[in-house]
Amino acid sequence: MSLPKVRRIESEVSVVRDCPGTHKHICCGYKTIDLVEGCPLSCSYCILRGYLNNPGITVRTDARAVIGEIDRAIVSEATHVLRFGTGELSDSLALDDELRVNAPVVRFFGERKKALLELKSKWASIDHLKSCLNPYVVVSFSVAPQRFIDAEEKRTSPVSERLKALKKAQDWGCFVGLHFDPVVIYEGFEKDYADLIEEIAGALDLKRVIWVSIGTLRFTPLLMRLFLRENRTNLLYGEFVTGEDGKLRYLKDERIRVYGMLYGRLLEKEPALFVYLCMERADVWRRATGRQPETSEDLASFFDGRIHEFYGGSLA
C-alpha cells in the first residue's frame, strides 16, 4: 500500500466516541477510536466520501493520551463490556504496517483485560502485529464476493487473502469477526454470497468467530448523486427508499429477504454463530432472524452474552 500524504498530530480533541449509529435504528453500542482519519482504499460506496473533505490522512501520534482516554471510558462503563474499534474513519490495517499506530493500543487491551479492541479491515496485513496481538483483540475483516470486490473495492485485498489473514489470527490465539457489510444486491448476488459462505466455512474455524455482522448497502443522498454521476450499476441495481434516518437503503422486504438468506446460510454452517444486523429496525430483526432486540440496549446485552460465552468471567 503506497502511503498518501500523512499529517501527524497531537491534539486535545477526543478520539474515543460512541459509534454514531443511525437515527431510529438499532445499533450495537460500539465505541470508536479515531487513531487515523482518511482511508487509501477508496471503496466506491464508502460513507467517508461524504463525510471527510480532506483527501489526506491524519494520524494521532500521542498514544499515551489516547490510551488514557480509552481507559477512562472503560472505567466509567458500569453495565456492558465495551467494544472499541479503530475502523470507523479509516481502515484499521491499511496503513498500519507503515504508521504503526495500533501496536500500543493493542498492547494496552491485552494488559487491561477489561474490554475488547476490534481491528476492522479490508487490507490483509497483520504480520507486523504478531508480537503484540492478544486474546483481547478481535481481528475482523469485511467480506464480499470477489466479483464485487473487483468492481467496487479495487484497492483492497482479495477475499481469499483476507480469509488467510483471519486464519492466521485464529492460529495466533485471537478471536475473529466477519462483516458482511455492505451487502449489495446485484445480478447473481445470491449465488456469489452462497459461494462466499462456503469459502469462509472452509477457511476458518467458525467456532472461534466471535461475531458476524450483516448490513445491507445504505448511503446518504450525497453519495446517491455520486453513484449516479459515476454510473455505479452494481450499487444501484437494487431498489432504494429513504429510511427514517434520511439514508437510502433497500426496500424493507428486500432487506428482510437478503438478511434472512445470509442469516440462514451462516447458521447452517455453524448454529452457534452470533450474527447481528448493523443499523437495522426492530421489525426487520424479528422477521429476518426471529430475534427481537427492541432497543440498542438489548443488542448491547446480546453482545455481553456472547463475550461471556467466549471469555467467561475474565471480562467485566
Partner 1 sequence: MNTIAIDKIDVNERLFCISYPLEDNLLLASIARFGILLPLGLLREDNPVIVAGFKRLDAARRLGITEVPCLYLEIGARQALLTAINDNLARPLNTVEKALCINKMLAAGFTREEVCEVAALLGLPPRENTLETAVSAASAQTPVLSFLVKRRLPFPMVEQLLWFDVEEQKSIIRLADAVGGTVGSLREMLHLMMLLKVKRGAIDFRQFEGAKDADALRQRLKRQTHPLLSGLEEKFAALMSACALPSQIKVKVDPAFEKESIDISLRAGNVREIEDALAKLQRLTGEGFFRSIFELTQGAPHRI
CB of residue 314 to partner 1, shortest distance in Å:
35
Of 195 and 244, the one with the shorter C-beta distance to partner 1 is: 244
CB of residue 215 to partner 1, shortest distance in Å:
16
**242 contacts 248 by C-beta, under 8 angstroms:** yes
237-296 binders of partner 1 (CB under 8 A): 237, 239, 241-244, 251-257, 259-261, 263-265, 268, 281, 283-284, 287-290
CB of residue 52 to partner 1, shortest distance in Å:
15
Of 10 and 239, the one with the shorter C-beta distance to partner 1 is: 239
Distance CA 117, CA 48 (A): 22
CB of residue 251 to partner 1, shortest distance in Å:
5
CB of residue 216 to partner 1, shortest distance in Å:
13
Q: Does 233 bind partner 1 (CB under 8 A)?
A: yes
Of 99 and 212, the one with the shorter C-beta distance to partner 1 is: 212
Please identify, among the stretches 102-110, 172-180, 222-230, 296-304, the one whose residues bind partner 1 according to the rule CB under 8 A: 222-230
Distance CA 34, CA 166 (A): 23
Copy the grid coordinates of residue 250.
433497500
Of 191 and 229, the one with the shorter C-beta distance to partner 1 is: 229
Of 9 and 251, the one with the shorter C-beta distance to partner 1 is: 251
**107 contacts 14 by C-beta, under 8 angstroms:** no
Torsion of CA 71, 72, 76, 81, to 10 degrees: -20
CB of residue 176 to partner 1, shortest distance in Å:
24
Closest listed residue to residue 117, CA positions, set 100, 98, 131, 134: 134
CB of residue 53 to partner 1, shortest distance in Å:
11
Distance CA 157, CA 146 (A): 10
Q: Exactly one of 231, 271, 312, 313 binds partner 1 (CB under 8 A); which one?
A: 231
Binding site for partner 1 (CB under 8 A): 227-229, 231-233, 236-237, 239, 241-244, 251-257, 259-261, 263-265, 268, 281, 283-284, 287-290
